[in-house]
Structure formats: C-alpha cells, structure tokens
Amino acid sequence: MKQDIPVIMIGPGTGIAPFRAYLQEREELGMTGKTWLFFGDQHRSSDFLYEEEIEEWLENGNLTRVDLAFSRDQEHKEYVQHRIMEESERFNEWIEQGAAIYICGDEKCMAKDVHQAIKDVLVKERHISQEEAELLLRQMKQQQRYQRDVY
C-alpha cells in the first residue's frame, strides 16, 4: 500500500487481523496518509478486538477514523455495511480522493453485503446506475484499489 493514498479498511470480526498488522507497521515506520477502519462484531463489551490499540491509533493520528457496528447490542442488527451507507457522502469523497478499499472477513454474507453497500454509495452519491457502479469497482480492482481477502 502506498503511504500517501487514503486507505479504507473493512474488517469485521477476525477480518481485522491484517489491518491491525498494517496499522502497526504504519506506526512503526511513521507513515502518513488518511486511514479509515470499519469494524464490527456481535457485542462491544466482549468482541471489540484491540479496542485499546484502536483508541491509541485514533489519538496519535495513525488511524484517522473508525466506524463500529455491534450487531447484538440493540434490537435491530447493525453491520459494517450499514455504517458504510450512513457515511455514504464521506465514503464517496475518500474514493474520489483515490482511496484504496480493502475488505477482509466472511465471504458468505459480509463480503457480498459490503460490496453491494459500496455500489449503493456510488449510485447514491454519483447518480449512476448499479451497472456503472460495478464497472467502477472493477476498474478500481484493476488499479489494485479494491481488494478482498474473504474466506
């Protein structure tokens, strides 16, 4: 990852692991550039992995922003894709600024739902069709700006 481009990391549950390593490396090397983490799990009290590290990275500027989604802490389930949609304007701005998007975690549901949420952001904010949004994500993939490590 280039250090000067914005980086959006979406890694609920154990999907946070590669992003933790990346953020540790950034901190060690003194890298700059905006970083945005979307993380979620079932319960904040028991499943907020690496909470203290994340808070420290926010304080020292290694992490620009974090959006959290804990699915079982309220009656209606909330997931990272809901946070992406809530932040659609800013998410699109980061993409326009050349952000790279990295997704890690569950392939069965999360990856598909996040992919659709990102397409929905592009449709909403750019007033384009779903097909055009899919084409844009394919172009970003070719540019290595949209990558998924799902399992």
Q: What are the tens digits of pLDDT across the range 113-133?
A: 999 999 999 999 999 999 999
What is the chain's length? 151
3: pLDDT strictly greater than 70: no
Task: Give the C-alpha separation, 92 to 6, whole Å.
Answer: 12
Asked if residues 23 and 35 have their Cβ atoms less than 8 Å apart, the reply is: yes
Phi, psi of 107 (to 5 degrees): -80, -35
Task: Give the C-alpha separation, 102 to 64, whole Å.
Answer: 16
| pLDDT at 43 (0 to 100) | 82
Q: At a CB cut-off of 8 Å and minimum separation 6, what does 96 contact?
A: none
Question: To 5 degrees, how large is the angle CA 97–CA 112–CA 80?
Answer: 65
| pLDDT at 45 (0 to 100) | 77
Q: 12-25, pLDDT tens digit by residue? A: 999 999 999 999 99
| pLDDT at 98 (0 to 100) | 97
DSSP state of 106: -
Asked if residues 38 and 12 have their Cβ atoms less than 8 Å apart, the reply is: yes
Question: The pTM is what?
Answer: 0.93
Residue ranges per domain, the chain?
A: 7-150
One-letter amino acid identity for 100?
A
CATH of domain 7-150: 3.40.50.80
Q: 64-111, pLDDT tens digit by residue? A: 999 999 987 778 899 999 999 999 999 999 999 999 999 999 999 999
